[in-house]
Chain A
Amino acid sequence: MLFIDNKQNNKWAEIGLAEGTSKTVPSPAGRDVQPGLPLGLRLLAFGPVLILLALIIIVGAVTPGFLSSINIGNILAQTAVIAVVAIGQHLVILTRGIDLSVGSNLALATVVGGLVFKVWDSSFGVALAMLIAATLVGAVNGVAYVFGRLPHPFIITLATLSICRGLALELAVGHTTMRGMPDGINVLGDASFGFIPNSFFIVAGVVAIFLVITKKMVWGRWIYAVGGAPQAALGMGIPVKGVLISTYMISGLCAGIGAIILAGRTGASSPLYGDLLELDTIAAVIIGGASFLGGRGHIGHALVGAVMIGVIRNALNLNNVDVFFQMIAIGAIIVVAVEADVLRGYLESRARAQQSARS
């Protein structure tokens, strides 16, 4: 769509030149229109998608079986947890924050679900318990960050990372896994429709809901506003504290949804689940192209990043590459993604300077 825009602008510019005027030409609405977003910025916005497509084509060409329906189903199932938790992480990062607690929050949620299962074999009850537990942890993060007047959410979520893991281990009283989940949870996490895992549909549903919230709802607009300029948001009368707390609660909720998927896939709960999931989700958001500095990003970024991590892991697995190399590869890609963010800032300031010169 953006490319069509570009063409139109070029057309206007051409007409302008043909008429011997400057580069600005009245648009049909009567406003002056100059060529829009610089090409470099457009490329950066679509870069992650292009890289993912290139990655899929290259890996598909050199790896037999990569594009088979079974393997695609595998990738989708393995990516589901990262993707859904990354959506919550994305909202937090949009507000210039970070949530380090998602991994151990997820583990704690599965353990709570496992304990509920022991006394109540109900899919609904177990799922609800996981969601409530995880959302509560998110609420603690948000409230402590906002009302504790902490300078940055890094420390509080680091603290809850530790607390949740410890609490999960404590509640599991020494078990590393607790077998058993209600049938409904197993169906959600483990069964599939054709070759497409059911968890894919959960992720799709979550994406749809959060697309509406972030792009169509006043609340979502406020999340972007708080991330773009917290002081201005305060001055404009946006309830900044409430918005911040809500994003941490959503991040917790998403960790709870991830807990349901993971517990369903394995048919078990474990205090060891979600190890380093915080890094995977942060990586997914950044690799996907959202800005670590807040205010810029789209749920699509989190998804693209999550799929990219899934594809890289899967491809390296299929090619029998050492697991340590996977970590190195993903780390290297994060560096590239963060540099791309810096480059975007540079291109924007250059565009601004051009505007000043022109006006």
Chain B
Amino acid sequence: MIVDTRTPVLSVRNAQKHFGAIHALKGISLEAHRGEVLALLGDNGAGKSTLIKCISGLHMLDEGEMVLDGEDVRFHSPAAARSAGIETVYQDLALFDNLTPAQNFYCGRELGFPSWLPAPLRLLNAREMDKRAASVIDRLKVKLPKFDAPVALMSGGQRQAIAVARATVFARKVVILDEPTAALGLRESRKVVDLVKQLRDEGNAIILITHNMEHVVELADRAVVLRQGHKVGEIKPSRDTQQALVSMIVGAEA
């Protein structure tokens, strides 16, 4: 175990979650620090997705607490988690195929006016959203075929890059990435890995779910391993500990 005296930006303590008879999370605790990548590892069904869904407001914890920047938080919706500064890039339900990159960027938190109207009735400030999204795309050096075409026409790597880039716009504290490279080729994965580094360097705490051990070793400062709803270990990943990590994930004692 790693002894850490810093104050984490996010800490989850004793997280419990039931789905009917299934006990999906059995008292999991973890801490995420600014400027650090925390890998969340485990086999399918280990509880990774449930845990991040609880953190990002899609589910609510049955028991346990979450502390964000020193404050107890409880999110009743994804919108609440987002406005508290937790961004999530979901594995496959990240983008709107029928919308353009800029529309995707701002979907659910559109810039609108006038501000005295209720949010849904405001008029879209399309020009400003286009401009800001374009400048982020430029800054991150993401290559897109056409900025005003729906993302349905873009490749898997371009789409994932858009999803990660979107997180960079709004991320203020924590970014959760659920298998961001799962469906990508080598070169496209590389681009996404670079984006993750950039997000980290901008001072975010990154929680990364991935099955790619190369990426874990390259990116992660710490790795938390889950198995059957339990936290079974926390390791500093490196070439030397890679084998131990894999054993821990599958449950074979090395």
Chain A interface (Cβ < 8 Å from any Cβ of B): 9, 24, 29-37, 41, 216-219, 221-222, 224-225, 227-229, 231-239, 295-296, 348, 351-353, 355-356, 358-359
CB of B232 within 8 Å of the partner chain: no
Q: Which residues of B contact A233 (CB under 8 A)?
A: 96, 107-108
**A37–B100 CA distance with the chains assembled, in angstroms:** 12
Q: Once the chains bind, are A359 and B157 in contact (CB under 8 Å)? A: yes
Q: Once the chains bind, are A235 and B78 in contact (CB under 8 Å)? A: yes
CB of B120 within 8 Å of the partner chain: yes
Q: Once the chains bind, are B97 and A229 in contact (CB under 8 Å)? A: yes
CB distance from B44 to the nearest CB of A (A): 19
Q: What are 10 A-B pairs with beta-carbon distances under 8 A?
A: A24-B143, A30-B138, A36-B146, A222-B108, A228-B97, A235-B94, A237-B78, A237-B109, A348-B152, A356-B157
Q: Once the chains bind, are B119 and A348 in contact (CB under 8 Å)? A: no
Q: Once the chains bind, are B123 and A216 in contact (CB under 8 Å)? A: yes
Q: From A31, A228, A237, give the contact of B96 (CB < 8 A).
A: A228
CB of B149 within 8 Å of the partner chain: yes
Contacts A31-B144, A228-B98, A296-B98 hold; do A237 and B79 have CB atoms under 8 A apart?
yes
Chain B interface (Cβ < 8 Å from any Cβ of A): 56, 58, 77-80, 82, 88, 90, 93-99, 103, 107-110, 112, 119-124, 134, 137-138, 143-149, 152-158, 185, 187-188
Q: Once the chains bind, are A238 and B108 in contact (CB under 8 Å)? A: yes
Contacts A31-B138, A221-B103, A356-B185 hold; do A348 and B124 have CB atoms under 8 A apart?
no
Q: Which residues of A contact B107 (CB under 8 A)?
A: 221, 225, 232-233, 236, 238
Closest B-chain residue to A297, C-beta based? B98
Additional A-B contacts beyond A217-B120, A229-B97 (4; CB < 8 A): A36-B146, A218-B120, A219-B121, A235-B78
Q: Which residues of B contact A356 (CB under 8 A)?
A: 155-157, 185, 188
Contacts A217-B122, A218-B122, A224-B98 hold; do A235 and B88 have CB atoms under 8 A apart?
yes
CB distance from A53 to the nearest CB of B (A): 26
Q: Once the chains bind, are A236 and B122 in contact (CB under 8 Å)? A: no
Q: Once the chains bind, are B146 and A34 in contact (CB under 8 Å)? A: yes
**A352–B144 CA distance with the chains assembled, in angstroms:** 12
**From A216, A225, A353, residue with most partner B Cβ within 10 Å:** A225
Q: Once the chains bind, are A219 and B120 in contact (CB under 8 Å)? A: yes
Q: Once the chains bind, are A224 and B152 in contact (CB under 8 Å)? A: no
Q: Once the chains bind, are A33 and B152 in contact (CB under 8 Å)? A: no
A to B contact number (C-beta, < 8 Å): 132
Q: Once the chains bind, are B144 and A32 in contact (CB under 8 Å)? A: yes
**A238–B144 CA distance with the chains assembled, in angstroms:** 26
**A233–B93 CA distance with the chains assembled, in angstroms:** 9
CB distance from A356 to the nearest CB of B (A): 4
Q: From A29, A218, A296, give the contact of B119 (CB < 8 A).
A: A218
Q: From B96, B112, B146, give the contact of A224 (CB < 8 A).
A: B96
CB distance from B109 to the nearest CB of A (A): 7
**A237–B145 CA distance with the chains assembled, in angstroms:** 28
Q: Which residues of A contact B148 (CB under 8 A)?
A: 36
Q: Once the chains bind, are A229 and B124 in contact (CB under 8 Å)? A: no
Q: Once the chains bind, are B143 and A222 in contact (CB under 8 Å)? A: no
**A39–B56 CA distance with the chains assembled, in angstroms:** 41
Q: Once the chains bind, are B154 and A37 in contact (CB under 8 Å)? A: no
Q: Which residues of A contact B121 (CB under 8 A)?
A: 217-219
**A36–B145 CA distance with the chains assembled, in angstroms:** 7
Closest B-chain residue to A215, C-beta based? B124
Contacts A31-B144, A221-B110, A232-B93 hold; do A359 and B158 have CB atoms under 8 A apart?
yes
Q: Which residues of B contact A34 (CB under 8 A)?
A: 145-146
Q: Which residues of A contact B98 (CB under 8 A)?
A: 224, 227-228, 295-296
Q: From B109, B153, B187, give the contact of A348 (CB < 8 A).
A: B153
Closest A-chain residue to B112, C-beta based? A218
**A295–B99 CA distance with the chains assembled, in angstroms:** 9
Q: Which residues of A contact B156 (CB under 8 A)?
A: 352, 356
Q: Once the chains bind, are B96 and A352 in contact (CB under 8 Å)? A: no
CB distance from B187 to the nearest CB of A (A): 7
Closest A-chain residue to B163, C-beta based? A232
Q: Which residues of B contact A229 (CB under 8 A)?
A: 93, 95-97
CB distance from B21 to the nearest CB of A (A): 21
Q: Once the chains bind, are A222 and B120 in contact (CB under 8 Å)? A: yes
Q: Which residues of A contact B103 (CB under 8 A)?
A: 221
Q: Once the chains bind, are B152 and A352 in contact (CB under 8 Å)? A: yes
**A228–B159 CA distance with the chains assembled, in angstroms:** 15
Q: Which residues of A contact B138 (CB under 8 A)?
A: 29-31
CB distance from B189 to the nearest CB of A (A): 12
For the complex of A and B, the 6 pairs showing the least CB-CB separation, nearest first, are A237-B79, A236-B108, A355-B155, A228-B98, A356-B155, A295-B98
**A227–B121 CA distance with the chains assembled, in angstroms:** 19
